[in-house]
Amino acid sequence: MDEKYNFKCEVFDSLSNLPDEIAVLIQAAQSQMDRAYAPYSKFYVGAALLLEDGRTYLGCNQENASFPLCMCAERVALYNAGADNDSFRIKALAITAKNPAKPLKEICMPCGACRQVIREFEERQKAEIPLYLSSDGNHIIKLDGISPLLPHSFSKDFLL
Ligand code: THU
């Protein structure tokens, strides 16, 4: 894996170098990839988020024969947490992906739409959401929040 990133992040070589609850969260995201419904792309994404109160929400990509209706793993997990709670605080979000047809050379990054949705959840809780991205389980990058991946973003500040 190429470990050079032009944004602020920490790179970990192993789950054992992370706090236990984060390692467990990443493993939950990895397991969740196997539940993805991805018969068209055969690209499997898992997401797991940890709330401050210790609860975990999971997501995996859900595809549709009408391709634009496909939903990303990150949004499945985030919207599930949003639907289930009035107020909540996300302590960490783990995202992992695999392409069985082609070993990934780089850690898979969240798509633009999901970056925007993560941004909204950061706004909602008025705090950044630490992100743990991994694709092979051996390399993990941690970002303090979404802003390095979505600079100069659109937000409610333009609306209200
Ligand atoms: N996908 C995600 O689940 N998250 C992303 O951030 C990028 C893409 C899914 C959507 C689709 O099911 C498949 O990966 C290929 O684009």
| Nearest atom, ligand 1, residue 60 CA | 3
Q: Which domains does the chain have, with CATH numbers?
A: 10-158 (3.40.140.10)
Q: Is 74 a catalytic residue?
A: yes
User: Using one digit for the tens of pLDDT, what is the confidence trace for 6-31?
Assistant: 999 999 999 999 999 999 999 999 99
Distance CA 112, CA 149 (A): 9
Alpha carbon distances (Å) from 5 to 2, 41, 71, 105: 8, 27, 27, 14
The residues, ordered by sequence, that sit 6+ positions from 140 with a Cβ below 8 Å of its Cβ are 11, 12, 15, 18, 26, 107, 132, 133, 134
Q: What is the pLDDT of residue 1?
A: 53
Q: Sorting pLDDT into bands at 50, 70 and 90, what band is 103?
A: confident
Percent of the chain surpassing pLDDT 90: 90
One-letter amino acid at 103 equals P
| Nearest atom, ligand 1, residue 113 CA | 6
Structure token pair of residue 39: 């018969």
Q: Is 63 in the pocket of ligand 1 (CB under 6 A)?
A: yes
Ligand 1: distance of its center to the CA of 100 in Å?
14
